[in-house]
Amino acid sequence: MNGKQQTASMTGYLWRFRWAVLLAVLPLLLTCGLQACSSLLVVEVFQSVFEGSMERFLTWILILVGIWFLLILCSTLKELLEGRAIRKLNNALRGDIAAALLRMSYSQYHSAGVGEQLSRFTNDISQIEALAWKPFFQFAGAAATAVFSVLALLTLHWSLVLAALVTTALMLLIPQLFNSRMERLGTLCGVRQAEATARLKDLLSGWDVLRAFSREERFSQGARQASDEIEQPRFRLACVKGIAGGGVGCVNIFCQALIIGLVGLLALWGFTRAGSLAAGGNLCGALSNALGSMAGLRLSFSSAKPYFEKIPVSGKPASQPRLEPVRSSISLEKLSFRYGQKPVLRELSLQFQKGGKYALIGPSGCGKSTLLKLLMGWLEDYEGRILLDDRDARSCTPEQLQQQMSYVEQNVFLFNATIRDNITLGGRFTDAQLQKALQDSALAADLAAMPAGLDTLAGEEGSSLSGGQRQRVAIARALIHRRSILLIDEGTSALDQQNADIVEQSLLGNPELTLILVSHHLTPERKAQFTRVYELESIA
């Protein structure tokens, strides 16, 4: 993702799902309206008591009970529709996070750990739900309560509305003092949670090592420390919200006492009925609570803002046209690359003819794996040129390059799904294509010994399979997707000699396949089977 990105916003998502949000707000508005109506009905109930009319008293009681049943129905419907809207909003957030990750380059994605990326899908979404979505519906409810309360007070006396407007102004000014502080704490909370999640993931991954060396205390201490790093900024955020809420509460009490006193005076002076005392108190309490809630919820929106700013928003990347298949060769011209200040490749010039079989050998750290990643377009900022026939690879996107190339690395990753799904990745292939890939990868014999065959679960990161089986699944995956150029980074290192021979003979005997294989060691007999063996040297 190059250049300045437009970031997501709370209002943008609410507008995007405006119909689902509106549908959830409607029963909420109805609930608030019914609550205001019930308060006014209380006036009639008390007034009928003061006037000694049993018939009117019973009638208004029955109507009031009916209103209460409607309130329960509307409240239930509100919860269901609100949950549905939040589900849509959260799914959209995760979808946009996933889209943003797909727009990253290889180096951008791997510059952050998996724990940090996972935190965006889990902690960040939970924080947005807690600080934005739920407070939004609470804010809508508080605003509706305030409006209906004002309208109800207007039926009692206009001066009550004037008093309500004054208190509203006071209640909404207070949160402005805390907005910037809440935004800073919200940002800090997100950063600390991501860092702590990454440390927890690292700690969990090292469970075997710590147990093997009797370092259980380090595991416990690390878990406690990471937990406190998550909770500490949240506690500070809660403290600031609590202080702000306390200030709002004090003003709320003052405003509520002011309006109740005003209702009492109006009743004593004969400007309203005596029954208004009960309803006036309820309405004033509802109005004050609503205004107090609105003020506090605005602080919550400020806290949520940094989480939205972490989500870049842009249109889907334009689909790239497919590259023409390599007709003649791939050439490297004076290729140099360094990791930071450490040079790995220096003015390397090699050529790979279409259909040829090539081996890259040399000591660890000489750049063999780096070379494969450069061919895949995963690493940038290299010097020299990589040419596909006469086309400079810099003019191609990694997606275009990967339409022709497939990469099998030494540490194979498998999804926690069936072997079939790990091979096909959800694609549609014929039984004949699948069986050929199994035979050419020497995987068929292993599957025959598994009761569930292709439907055997690989386990998390392939934990149910041996290292050799994982490599054969990865090779079958590469073969069935019919990439014309296959890059293998020690992809047969975990195989026994017999299976390694089966796999390599299959690959070496395929005339349509351009093979570039990394290996630390090749026997003279095996070297003779390659078109050419390039030996790379370490750069001192």
- Nearest Cα to 13, choosing from 77, 122, 83, 87? 87
The lowest-confidence range among 122-131, 244-253, 394-403, 483-492 is 244-253
What is the model's pLDDT at position 14?
A: 92
Whether 382 shows a pLDDT value over 80: the answer reads: yes
Q: What digits encode the pLDDT tens for the residues 413-450?
A: 888 888 898 888 888 888 898 998 888 888 888 888 88
What is the model's pLDDT at position 24?
A: 93
Whether 532 shows a pLDDT value over 80: the answer reads: yes
What is the model's pLDDT at position 117?
A: 81
Whether 210 shows a pLDDT value over 70: the answer reads: no
Mean pLDDT, range 166-187, rounded to an integer: 70
Q: What digits encode the pLDDT tens for the residues 15-44?
A: 999 999 999 999 999 998 888 888 777 777
242-271 burial, b at 16+ Cβ within 10 Å, e below that, comes to: eebbeebeebbeebbeebbebbeebbeeee
Q: Exposed (0-12), middle (13-18) or buried (19+): which is 364, by Cβ within 10 Å?
A: exposed
CA atoms within 13 A on the CB side of 532: 11
Q: Which residue has the tokens 């519906």?
A: 137
Apex 34 CA angle, 287 and 296, nearest 5: 30
Residues with Cβ within 8 Å of residue 174, at least 6 apart in sequence: 244, 247, 248, 251, 295
Q: What digits encode the pLDDT tens for the residues 44-85?
A: 776 677 677 788 778 878 888 888 889 899 889 999 999 999
Pairing mode, if any, of strands 383-388 and 357-361?
unpaired
Whether 172 shows a pLDDT value over 70: the answer reads: no
What is the model's pLDDT at position 22?
A: 95
Cα–chain center distance at 539: 41
Whether 166 shows a pLDDT value over 60: the answer reads: yes
What is the model's pLDDT at position 104?
A: 77
What is the model's pLDDT at position 3?
A: 43
Alpha-carbon distances, residue 5 vs 309, 311, 315, 459 (angstroms): 10, 9, 11, 38
The lowest-confidence range among 78-87, 321-330, 374-383 is 321-330
What is the model's pLDDT at position 20?
A: 94
Mean pLDDT, range 295-313, rounded to an integer: 79
The lowest-confidence range among 398-402, 484-488, 490-494 is 490-494
CB atoms within 10 A of CB 312: 18
Alpha-carbon distances, residue 290 vs 170, 299, 442 (angstroms): 13, 15, 69
Beta partners for 339?
342
367 against 85, higher pLDDT: 85
What is the model's pLDDT at position 35?
A: 84
What is the model's pLDDT at position 280?
A: 62
pLDDT band of residue 6 (cuts 50, 70, 90) is low
Q: Which residue has the tokens 């090592």?
A: 209
Alpha-carbon distances, residue 215 vs 158, 200, 209, 227 (angstroms): 73, 16, 8, 19
What is the model's pLDDT at position 23?
A: 94
Mean pLDDT estimate for the chain: 80
Whether 296 shows a pLDDT value over 60: the answer reads: yes
The lowest-confidence range among 36-50, 295-309, 343-357 is 36-50
Cα–chain center distance at 272: 56
381 against 86, higher pLDDT: 86
> What is the arrangement of strands in the sheet containing 391-392, beginning at the earlier edge strand?
342-353, 329-339, 383-388, 391-392
pLDDT band of residue 108 (cuts 50, 70, 90) is confident
Residues with Cβ within 8 Å of residue 166, at least 6 apart in sequence: 255
249 against 357, higher pLDDT: 357
Mean pLDDT, range 269-295, rounded to an integer: 67
Q: What digits encode the pLDDT tens for the residues 134-152?
A: 999 999 988 888 888 878 7
Mean pLDDT, range 219-245, rounded to an integer: 78
Q: What kind and span of H or E run contains 188?
A: helix 179-205
Q: What digits encode the pLDDT tens for the residues 118-137?
A: 888 888 888 899 889 999 99
Whether 324 shows a pLDDT value over 70: the answer reads: yes
Percentage above 70 pLDDT, the chain: 84
What is the model's pLDDT at position 77?
A: 92
pLDDT band of residue 377 (cuts 50, 70, 90) is confident
531 against 156, higher pLDDT: 531
Whether 379 shows a pLDDT value over 90: the answer reads: no
pLDDT band of residue 277 (cuts 50, 70, 90) is low
Mean pLDDT, range 232-243, rounded to an integer: 77
CB atoms within 10 A of CB 227: 12
pLDDT band of residue 199 (cuts 50, 70, 90) is confident
What is the model's pLDDT at position 2?
A: 43
HEC letters along 89-128: HHHHHHHHHHHHHHCCCHHHHHHCCHHHHHHHHCHHHHHH
For the CA atoms of 434, 436, 437, 443, what is the dihedral angle to 10 degrees? 100
